[in-house]
Structure 1
Amino acid sequence: MTPIFRLCEQYVGKSAELDPISAEISGVSAGFAPATDFGPDGHAARAELIRRTLAELSGLAVTSEADRHAADHLRERLEAESAWHESGEPLRELRGQFGLVNLIRDSVDLLPRGDDDRWRDVAARLEAVPVMLASWRAGLDLGLDRGLPAARRQALEAAAQAERFAGVHDALVTSYGDGPLAGELAAAAASAHAAYTETARYLRADYAPRAAERDGVGAERYAVAARQSLGADLDPVEAYAWGWAELERIEAEMATEIERVRPGASWPEVSAFLDETHCVAGVDAYRGWLQERHDRAISELDGTHFDIAPPLRTVEVTIAAASAAGSPYYTPPTEDLARPGRTWWPLGGRERFATWRELTTVFHEGVPGHHLQMGAVMAAGDTLSRFARIEGVSGHSEGWALYAERLADELGWFADPGTRLGMLAGSALRTARVVIDIGVHLELPLPDGSRWTFGKACEVLSERGRANSHRVHPEVVRYFGWPAQAISYKLGERAWLAARETAMRRPGFDLKGWHTAAVGLGPIGLGRLAETLERVS
């Protein structure tokens, strides 16, 4: 192992010690630890680890191409993270969707279970929920005292989420049965549920009155967030203009597809028709349909356009029943591949599920999307640094997942005009994200000169982004509370498509070989993506 690879290994290990919850979510194989300190001391310790690692990296010699790639990725990610710490963002890290409350809840669900030793870990994690939430509240209080408030909207939305989580672990405790740990698990779950309730009270009564009324973060904070999400500096004015033009292009393609599905129909008419004719009823049927489509995609791709390692030929569909997030999401396998990759599907209060819309998301979250890419990185072994196997770049991974949807279209997997319309509607949603996110946070005017509000963002996402009604509110909450993350999808896809177009001009281009080599490189910031993929054979 070279000194650079060793430094990457050491950083992952030390980072996992300081933040075992994030390590659990990312699939790091490490000894069990019940809690992360999400308070000021925990943030300071993680910032210091970043500073020490960057200082040590600056003194190490690059001895190979693999070394150079590992060093570039480590440096880029840690510099972006360091800027986030220096800006004081950890002290106002408050998101109504995909925030820390959700992270803690998922960290319980992801723990392995089986024998009583593992169930003791589950009990310990549940007992740690009050401690972790208290540390987070302490950090938020310090942020308020230092004049670093999060938006009031995010406080109220996170409070509602925390309130919903009171009782969320009961099914887990019930699944254990009446073994010797039943009482301990029940008491630990009750303690966790009480902590969710107290956190909801705190956010509403204590934090929200002192929070910021403004939703947008402004240019300086947005630049830091964009660097984190994209691994590149952003020209927001150019991206904003491109987003509106891309939305118009997609809308024209959708109009053609609507004519194929139901000539002369409007969008509301054709979507209502497809909701009735391309759907499944009931949660069990929904789960079964999702699992079958995941499995079929793996079967059809393996050995043709990709070589999928045996441990990655399984994706586990998980229904996220208590989640209020509008969007499905993915968690990768563990480093040892013992825990499978999982896709998580919120119900959004539905009992009928429009499969014509959701087929494209199966390819996005599963194969050839996140599972194939992130799973391949986990399975890469020592060819990639441990840091590269664990720490990704949203623009790279989400861009690949949108590219995967486009690839599925090229492979004819949307032969049914309804499902292809669903794919285009999904692309419109991701493009609407670009203009909403940049427009809100930088206060850029809409094409008609009007200003962004929460209501206007919901309107654009519904009417131009073609979002399902159950997704509109949580999606917009997410954009308002997680600046620059939502732009990583379409801007990442744009970068992947441009890189492939360049590669295809070379004599002897082979798409399967390009895919294999590109995925095998591991995560890359968009600032280096084109340059790096030019060297892929």
Structure 2
Amino acid sequence: MKTTSFALLAALWLPAGLATAQSTKKPAPATKATTTTAAASATSSAPLAKLFDTYWEDRAKLFPLNATSQGDNRYNDQLPNDQTRAFRQQQQQFYQQYLGSLKKFDRSKLSAEDQVSYDIFQYEMESRLNGLKLNSWMMPFAQFYSLPNTLGQLGAGTGAQPFKTVKDYDDWLKRIGQFPVWADSAVSNFRQGMKAGVVLPRALVLKMVPQLQAQITTDATKSLFYGPITRMPASFSEADKTRLTAAYQQAILTQLVPTYRKLADFLQTEYLPKARTSTGLAAVPGGAEMYAYNVRLMTTTDRAPDAIYQTGLSEVKRIRAEMEAVKKQVAFQGELPAFFTYLNSEPKFTPYKTPEDVLNAFRAIQARITPNLPKLFGRTPKSPFEIRQTEAFRAATASAEYNRGTPDGSRPGIFYVPILDATKFNTTSGMESLFAHEAIPGHHYQLSLQQENTDLPKFRRFASYPAFSEGWALYCESLGPELGLYADPYQKIGALGDEIHRAIRLVVDVGMHSKNMTREEAIKYMMDNEPISEQGATAEIERYMAIPGQALAYKTGALKLRELRDRYAKQLGSKSDLRAFHDEVLAGGSMPLAVLERKMDAWAARQK
């Protein structure tokens, strides 16, 4: 079993409005900041701060599900129909208005930190506007980005949607009451895509149907959405308990179940026969432009897909050599593919009997690294942290992931581990590197410190640029030896498996979407170069089919962070401080790589 990173994907690829956008353009060229007095600098930046605050308030109204995920509960009763042309036009006007307002400021007269904010905001607005020009709305959701799945997570009562007060319960009823109309519009968009030839691959549709069918039941009490009723606070009055119980049963049976059935039946009977047998996005009209946009979106660079592909080939070759060294260390006789088979089939590598055994193994990893964290970080998050098993309804198609907590600590950061069968959970799957990536110090440190930094404008506190966020998490895997990990060669091979996995992504993602590599060829390439089961490789490849370009972010960002670390260590010599480097990288939150590099170059200059 290979459990691989899937952090932040929901935040990035939910339907329009549920994601934090990235940009397709480079930020404005760096300019030398004008020397000003502190007072003048503060005065000049106050209007900019107001612009950012107003934007964030307007954004929360436009995208209430985003607000809910960030702990802003003012719009928990709303579910806008983001599948309409009118909503897309509303977005276009929204981003254009704020881009125009930003350009009224003279960037050269802003403080250094405000220049960073200016660049990120410009990047964000331009990216959103560019994305709205594409026909990706004709493919409203897939198995890895799905409002129907998101509603399941929210409605179960264990996610971001709160169920603490009577109003909370009523808010959810109002929110899901708008789901049927959303679904009708999504079906309409799918149909327009069918006419235009902009359709999903058949292999993905086959995975979507069972996800929807899982929510179909004739017994409301058996529904995932009945969870909040089973955990209703004892403080509620008997009248409210009776009313809400009846209302939830009615909503499940008359709104939710019929809507999930309608979507499942449409995909099964009408859409599946029209779904494409091809693999890559280039096979649909306008697909090449969509992929080029996604590559820029996810890497926050202008690197050509072919250059990224060549980097992937080079990295795969380098990491395979390191794997050969570990194979020799454990005295395994045979070629690497045979070694991979051994790692996946040897009984001693599947010692667990229950899901709790697996979770306890991850808790032991956390205990092992904790004493070493102060050597690498001066700042640590205040946010609580938990390790949980992924909910059963989505575990079959989920990867291990981190869900950010709320800034006030009311909801902890959660490291979710899908455990379909504990007796098949393999210790060589890279458990140590997985924890360093998804949990601590990876996503939990980066996201929590970002959210807790109240000096940042809110659009930066909650930003998520995958090249930064996933790049940071993958970079954290490389900190394993410094954290006390990978002493066991089988954990080392697991870490190398995770690293080569990200390198393979560069090859197969570009290969499928711009070089005519088929799904089957991509699965084979992955299995030939890392210890992964066919089931695991299939799930990964189908993920990249569903969200083209996203898988490129990890290696792109990690390589840039390692490049910067090595550059400053060489420049600063005896003044080089790894803790200070890490703290500075995390201090400004997630941002495009070009903005990060300028910011870090300025930091290094100050250290001299």
Give, in angstroms, the shift of residue 103 of structure 1. Answer: 2.8
Which stretch has the larger CA shift, 434-443 or 6-15? 6-15
Pick one of 360, 366, 378 that aligns with 2:433.
360
Q: How has the CA–CA distance of structure 1 residues 304 and 194 changed in structure 2, closer, same or farther, with 3 Å as cutoff?
A: farther
Q: How has the CA–CA distance of structure 1 residues 204 and 326 changed in structure 2, closer, same or farther, with 3 Å as cutoff?
A: same
Pick one of 371, 391, 395 that aligns with 2:444.
371
Q: TM-score, normalization: structure 1? A: 0.90
SS of the equivalent of 2:414 reads strand
**Alignment check: 8 A CA contact 1:337 1:379 kept:** no
Aligned residue in 2 for 1:485 = 550
Aligned residue in 1 for 2:588 = 521
* 5+ residue gaps, structure 2: 1-44, 217-222, 283-287
Please give the alpha-carbon distance, in whole angstroms, between the structure 2 residues aligned to 1:274 and 1:375: 38
Please give the alpha-carbon distance, in whole angstroms, between the structure 1 residues aligned to 2:409 and 2:263: 34
Q: How has the CA–CA distance of structure 1 residues 130 and 262 changed in structure 2, closer, same or farther, with 3 Å as cutoff?
A: farther
SS of the equivalent of 2:352 reads strand
Please give the alpha-carbon distance, in whole angstroms, between the structure 2 residues aligned to 1:350 and 1:127: 38
Which stretch has the larger CA shift, 241-250 or 521-530? 521-530
1:102 aligns with 2:154: no
1:168 aligns with 2:231: no
Please give the alpha-carbon distance, in whole angstroms, between the structure 1 residues aligned to 2:180 and 2:393: 19
**Alignment check: 8 A CA contact 2:380 2:445 kept:** no
1:300 is matched by which residue type in structure 2? P
Pairing of 1:261-276 with structure 2 (within 5 A)? 261-264=330-333, 266-272=338-344, 276=348
Question: CA offsets, 1:500-525, max 9 Å, x none?
Answer: 11111122010001100110121121
Aligned residue in 2 for 1:182 = 245
Please give the alpha-carbon distance, in whole angstroms, between the structure 1 residues aligned to 2:345 and 2:226: 39
Aligned residue in 2 for 1:446 = none
Give, in angstroms, the shift of residue 390 of structure 1. Answer: 1.4
Aligned residue in 2 for 1:499 = 564
Larger Rg: 2
> What's the C-alpha RMSD, in Å, of the aligned pairs?
2.6
Give, in angstroms, the shift of residue 489 of structure 1. Answer: 0.8
Please give the alpha-carbon distance, in whole angstroms, between the structure 2 residues aligned to 1:68 and 1:271: 50
**Alignment check: 8 A CA contact 1:393 1:523 kept:** yes
1:473 aligns with 2:545: no
Q: How has the CA–CA distance of structure 1 residues 374 and 131 changed in structure 2, closer, same or farther, with 3 Å as cutoff?
A: same
Aligned residue in 1 for 2:294 = 225
1:381 is matched by which residue type in structure 2? T
Q: How has the CA–CA distance of structure 1 residues 53 and 214 changed in structure 2, closer, same or farther, with 3 Å as cutoff?
A: farther
Aligned residue in 2 for 1:154 = 204
Give, in angstroms, the shift of residue 409 of structure 1. Answer: 3.2
Q: How has the CA–CA distance of structure 1 residues 308 and 192 changed in structure 2, closer, same or farther, with 3 Å as cutoff?
A: farther
Please give the alpha-carbon distance, in whole angstroms, between the structure 1 residues aligned to 2:274 and 2:52: 40
Q: TM-score, normalization: structure 2? A: 0.80
Which stretch has the larger CA shift, 174-183 or 363-372? 174-183
Aligned residue in 1 for 2:303 = 234
SS of the equivalent of 2:388 reads strand
Pick one of 84, 87, 90 that aligns with 1:45.
90
Pick one of 499, 516, 520 that aligns with 1:455.
520
Aligned residue in 1 for 2:577 = 510
1:202 aligns with 2:274: no
Pick one of 266, 278, 300 that aligns with 2:371.
300
Which stretch has the larger CA shift, 417-426 or 325-334? 325-334
Question: CA offsets, 1:300-319, max 9 Å, x none?
Answer: 35533224545324234342
Which stretch has the larger CA shift, 216-225 or 132-141? 132-141
Q: How has the CA–CA distance of structure 1 residues 169 and 345 changed in structure 2, closer, same or farther, with 3 Å as cutoff?
A: farther
* 5+ residue gaps, structure 1: 444-450
Question: CA offsets, 1:7-62, max 9 Å, x none?
Answer: 22222222221221233335556442331322113333223211211111111234
Q: How has the CA–CA distance of structure 1 residues 373 and 140 changed in structure 2, closer, same or farther, with 3 Å as cutoff?
A: same
Please give the alpha-carbon distance, in whole angstroms, between the structure 1 residues aligned to 2:47 and 2:331: 62
Q: How has the CA–CA distance of structure 1 residues 321 and 479 changed in structure 2, closer, same or farther, with 3 Å as cutoff?
A: same
**Alignment check: 8 A CA contact 1:24 1:110 kept:** yes
Aligned residue in 2 for 1:448 = none
Q: How has the CA–CA distance of structure 1 residues 10 and 120 changed in structure 2, closer, same or farther, with 3 Å as cutoff?
A: same
**Alignment check: 8 A CA contact 1:319 1:346 kept:** yes
SS of the equivalent of 1:381 reads coil
Question: CA offsets, 1:110-169, max 9 Å, x none?
Answer: 212334333333444444443433333233334445554344443333223222344433
Aligned residue in 1 for 2:220 = none
1:366 is matched by which residue type in structure 2? A
Aligned residue in 2 for 1:331 = 403
Which stretch has the larger CA shift, 60-69 or 115-124? 115-124
Please give the alpha-carbon distance, in whole angstroms, between the structure 2 residues aligned to 1:99 and 1:301: 39
**Alignment check: 8 A CA contact 1:312 1:372 kept:** no
Q: How has the CA–CA distance of structure 1 residues 394 and 274 changed in structure 2, closer, same or farther, with 3 Å as cutoff?
A: farther
**Alignment check: 8 A CA contact 1:343 1:366 kept:** yes
Please give the alpha-carbon distance, in whole angstroms, between the structure 2 residues aligned to 1:504 and 1:29: 44
SS of the equivalent of 1:342 reads strand
**Alignment check: 8 A CA contact 1:440 1:452 kept:** yes
Which stretch has the larger CA shift, 319-328 or 432-441? 319-328
Which stretch has the larger CA shift, 316-325 or 81-90? 316-325
SS of the equivalent of 2:464 reads coil
Pairing of 1:431-450 with structure 2 (within 5 A)? 431-443=503-515
Aligned residue in 1 for 2:321 = 252
Please give the alpha-carbon distance, in whole angstroms, between the structure 2 residues aligned to 1:350 and 1:97: 23
Q: How has the CA–CA distance of structure 1 residues 76 and 127 changed in structure 2, closer, same or farther, with 3 Å as cutoff?
A: same
Q: How has the CA–CA distance of structure 1 residues 300 and 48 changed in structure 2, closer, same or farther, with 3 Å as cutoff?
A: farther
2:153 is matched by which residue type in structure 1? D
SS of the equivalent of 1:185 reads helix
Please give the alpha-carbon distance, in whole angstroms, between the structure 2 residues aligned to 1:152 and 1:23: 34
1:452 is matched by which residue type in structure 2? M
Please give the alpha-carbon distance, in whole angstroms, between the structure 2 residues aligned to 1:150 and 1:270: 36
SS of the equivalent of 1:2 reads helix
Aligned residue in 1 for 2:278 = 214
Aligned residue in 1 for 2:454 = 381
SS of the equivalent of 1:455 reads helix
Q: How has the CA–CA distance of structure 1 residues 291 and 77 changed in structure 2, closer, same or farther, with 3 Å as cutoff?
A: farther
Q: How has the CA–CA distance of structure 1 residues 424 and 326 changed in structure 2, closer, same or farther, with 3 Å as cutoff?
A: farther
Please give the alpha-carbon distance, in whole angstroms, between the structure 1 residues aligned to 2:247 and 2:145: 29
Pick one of 375, 386, 391 that aligns with 1:315.
386
Please give the alpha-carbon distance, in whole angstroms, between the structure 1 residues aligned to 2:372 and 2:251: 44
1:305 is matched by which residue type in structure 2? L
Please give the alpha-carbon distance, in whole angstroms, between the structure 1 residues aligned to 2:250 and 2:358: 33
Q: How has the CA–CA distance of structure 1 residues 427 and 348 changed in structure 2, closer, same or farther, with 3 Å as cutoff?
A: farther
Give, in angstroms, the shift of residue 485 of structure 1. Answer: 0.3
Question: CA offsets, 1:395-446, max 9 Å, x none?
Answer: 1111100001111234331111111111111112111111110011002xxx
Q: How has the CA–CA distance of structure 1 residues 493 and 235 changed in structure 2, closer, same or farther, with 3 Å as cutoff?
A: same
Please give the alpha-carbon distance, in whole angstroms, between the structure 1 residues aligned to 2:168 and 2:81: 22
**Alignment check: 8 A CA contact 1:77 1:231 kept:** no
Give, in angstroms, the shift of residue 327 of structure 1. Answer: 1.7
Pairing of 1:20-39 with structure 2 (within 5 A)? 20-28=64-72, 30-39=74-83
1:60 aligns with 2:105: yes
Q: How has the CA–CA distance of structure 1 residues 530 and 247 changed in structure 2, closer, same or farther, with 3 Å as cutoff?
A: same
Question: CA offsets, 1:339-376, max 9 Å, x none?
Answer: 22122222345543223322211111111111100111
**Alignment check: 8 A CA contact 1:28 1:390 kept:** no
**Alignment check: 8 A CA contact 1:217 1:483 kept:** yes
Give, in angstroms, the shift of residue 91 of structure 1. Answer: 3.0
Q: How has the CA–CA distance of structure 1 residues 83 and 535 changed in structure 2, closer, same or farther, with 3 Å as cutoff?
A: same
1:395 aligns with 2:467: yes
